């Protein structure tokens, strides 16, 4: 690969890319993700792509980000200095490489949301995120906000990634499942899948690497060797299987009884409509909407589930706390909306609640007692993406926060049932009637 950046000097970049790396180099998409399995030659390709962009476009500004600066230094900075030090000038103060044509590569890190402050107001033409699944979606979006400038250079984001990590869900959504939100153009996203077998250099230098990957625990092996995004280490509900747990609304038995479960926050309302019948619980529909007041949330719930006549709505018990600004509780505000089902506070114990969800997902031999209708895309996505908390045994992680709302609502729902329903004897569904007192009581 040869690029001429001025009239005096021509620089030759050593190395021959494999077909997948060449595909990565040739991509002109706004967002290009390269990866899948370990050992696919991602870091090598990312470094050369940035150098090539700097040589081709005089004055371009690039940012290379990893979770910590120590990782960045070990995986990129040292290698780039060894490979291209003859025509790069490094500034320790600015943490950047400069080229003679005015192009620059800045090195950044983002270990927490606090680190995002260092990028406010900065402008970059190219942003490269190495090991992007180690970043949250909030961090990804905030970094991409710095992709701007009036220099006329291409504006692109390059990502390398492996399955797993806190950012697994948003990378999978954008590049694997290709599920896009308003403002996201599908034509702007491209994924290039790389396996260790694509990396001829590694295979020749370390032929036993594939054997070592193959000896890993099953989930880690499937993610790192085969690049599978549906199974990854740290998945909180490995029992969840779309082939077993998904259904169509037509499968809900006649005469089923309905109720609602809600996880309310101003950042997101997650409301689920559930049905109970023939010994099974069905998640029928979902309503996941951000930025709603309490009254607006209640109105949206009543409208979305109108016609099903839900018998109660279980919600987080903090809604029963009185608000200092109004002296009224969230329960009073929501319950005062016409059509809102009778509300009851959830048993919000986390570990017992998650255990209850597992009981429904993994019943005794036979069909599962929890089924989710295919239209509940947010819950389905979140059930696959939810991770284990790193410090609390048997608890789910609170990050990425965006995927916690629908599972929380499901936990409230199933805890309101206490135990999975039995086909032999259907228990009272809710609000048991008080016993009649005798004449002399």
**pLDDT of amino acid 404:** 92
**pLDDT of amino acid 391:** 76
| 124: CB partners within 8 A, 6+ apart | 61, 62, 63, 106, 146, 147, 148, 149
**pLDDT of amino acid 235:** 76
DSSP string, 145-157: TTB--SS----EE
The neighbouring-strand residues paired with 61 are 104
Helix 405-415 crosses helix 377-385 at what angle (to 10 degrees)? 100
Q: Which long-range contacts (CB under 8 A, 24 or more apart) does 232-237 make?
A: 232/163, 232/164, 232/168, 233/164, 234/164, 234/165, 234/387, 234/388, 235/384, 235/386, 235/387, 235/388, 236/354, 236/386, 236/387, 236/388, 236/396, 236/397, 237/357, 237/358, 237/361, 237/383, 237/384, 237/386
Contact 41, 167 (CB under 8 A): no
Structural domains in the chain, sorted by start? 2-224 (3.40.50.300), 242-415 (3.30.420.280)
**pLDDT of amino acid 353:** 94
Residue pLDDT tens, the chain, 441 long: 444 444 455 666 667 888 888 999 999 999 999 987 666 678 888 999 999 999 999 999 999 999 888 888 888 888 888 888 888 999 999 999 999 999 999 999 998 888 999 998 899 999 999 999 888 888 999 999 999 988 889 999 999 988 877 788 789 889 988 989 888 999 999 999 887 776 666 666 666 766 776 676 666 666 667 677 776 656 788 788 888 899 999 999 999 999 999 999 989 999 999 999 988 999 999 999 999 999 999 999 999 999 999 999 999 999 999 877 677 999 999 999 999 999 999 999 999 999 999 989 987 676 789 999 999 988 998 888 888 887 787 889 888 788 899 999 999 999 998 655 555 444 455 555 555 555 444
**pLDDT of amino acid 201:** 63
Q: Which stretches of 145-197 are DSSP H helices? A: 168-171
**pLDDT of amino acid 219:** 62
**pLDDT of amino acid 368:** 81
The neighbouring-strand residues paired with 46 are none
**pLDDT of amino acid 330:** 92
**pLDDT of amino acid 435:** 54
């Amino acid at each position: 690969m040869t690029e001429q950046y001025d009239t005096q000097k021509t620089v030759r970049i050593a190395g021959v890319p494999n077909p997948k790396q060449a595909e990565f180099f040739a991509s002109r998409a706004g967002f290009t993700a390269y990866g899948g399995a370990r050992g696919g030659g991602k870091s090598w390709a990312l470094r050369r792509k940035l150098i090539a962009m700097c040589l081709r476009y005089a004055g371009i500004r690039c940012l290379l980000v990893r979770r910590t600066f120590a990782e960045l230094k070990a995986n990129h900075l040292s290698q780039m200095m060894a490979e291209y030090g003859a025509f790069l000038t490094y500034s320790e103060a600015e943490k950047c490489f400069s080229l003679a044509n005015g192009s620059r590569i800045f090195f950044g890190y983002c270990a927490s949301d606090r680190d995002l402050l260092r990028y406010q107001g900065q402008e970059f033409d190219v942003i490269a995120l190495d090991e992007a699944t180690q970043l949250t979606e909030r961090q990804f979006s905030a970094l991409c906000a710095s992709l701007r400038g009036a220099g006329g250079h291409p504006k692109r984001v390059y990502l390398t990634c492996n399955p797993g990590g806190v950012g697994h869900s948003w990378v999978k959504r954008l590049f694997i499942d290709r599920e896009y939100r308003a403002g996201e153009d599908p034509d702007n996203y491209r994924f290039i899948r790389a396996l260790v077998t694509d990396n001829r250099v590694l295979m020749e230098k370390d032929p036993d690497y594939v054997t070592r990957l193959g000896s890993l625990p099953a989930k880690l092996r499937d993610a790192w060797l085969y690049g599978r995004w549906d199974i990854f280490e740290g998945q909180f509900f490995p029992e969840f299987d779309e082939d077993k747990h998904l259904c169509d609304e037509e499968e809900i038995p006649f005469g089923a009884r309905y109720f609602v479960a809600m996880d309310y926050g101003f950042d997101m309302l997650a409301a689920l409509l559930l049905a109970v019948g023939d010994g099974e619980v069905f998640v029928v529909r979902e309503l996941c909407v951000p930025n709603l007041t309490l009254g607006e949330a209640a109105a949206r719930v009543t409208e979305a589930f109108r016609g099903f006549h839900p018998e109660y709505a279980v919600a987080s018990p903090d809604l029963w706390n009185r608000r200092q600004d109004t002296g009224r509780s969230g329960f009073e505000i929501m319950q005062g909306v016409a059509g809102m089902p009778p509300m009851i506070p959830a048993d919000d114990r986390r570990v017992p609640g998650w255990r209850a969800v597992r009981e429904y997902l993994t019943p005794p031999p036979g069909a599962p007692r929890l089924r989710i209708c295919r239209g509940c895309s947010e819950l389905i996505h979140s059930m696959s993406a939810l991770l284990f908390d790193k410090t609390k045994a048997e608890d789910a992680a609170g990050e990425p926060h965006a995927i916690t709302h629908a599972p929380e609502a499901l936990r409230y729902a199933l805890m309101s049932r206490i135990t999975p329903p039995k086909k032999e004897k259907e228990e009272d569904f809710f609000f048991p009637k008080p016993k009649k007192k005798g004449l002399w009581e």
